[in-house]
Amino acid sequence: MGNSPADVEQTIVAFLTRTNKMRDDFHADMPLYADGVGLDSLETAELSALLEDDHGSDPYSTGGMPQTMAEIQAFYARVETGN
């Protein structure tokens, strides 16, 4: 699987669907935690591992905590361009 925004979105949406966290009003700028999708720490760790498995790197391992799918997509866009 590639690192295009659509590929990353597919990974995240599949994960949210599998964990019953997918919302009808989900969008790229919705928070992944608390008042947004509501991922807990275990689910966040699972998402981190899944992203690394599917896309070869993990936005959570850089010391940051992406808050939205859009931030995760931006991470992979930077990886693709080497920035």
Token pair in block for residue 45? 């760790």
Residue 83 has pLDDT above 90, yes or no: no
**First vs last C-alpha separation in the chain:** 20
Residue 12 has pLDDT above 70, yes or no: yes
Residue 14 has pLDDT above 90, yes or no: yes
What is the tally of structural domains in the chain?
A: 1
SS3 46: helix
Cβ proximity of 57 and 79 under 8 Å: yes
Which CATH number belongs to the domain containing residue 14 in this structure?
1.10.1200.10
Token pair in block for residue 15? 């994960």
Residue 60: domain span? 5-81
Average pLDDT, the chain: 92
Confidence of residue 1 (pLDDT cuts 50, 70, 90): low
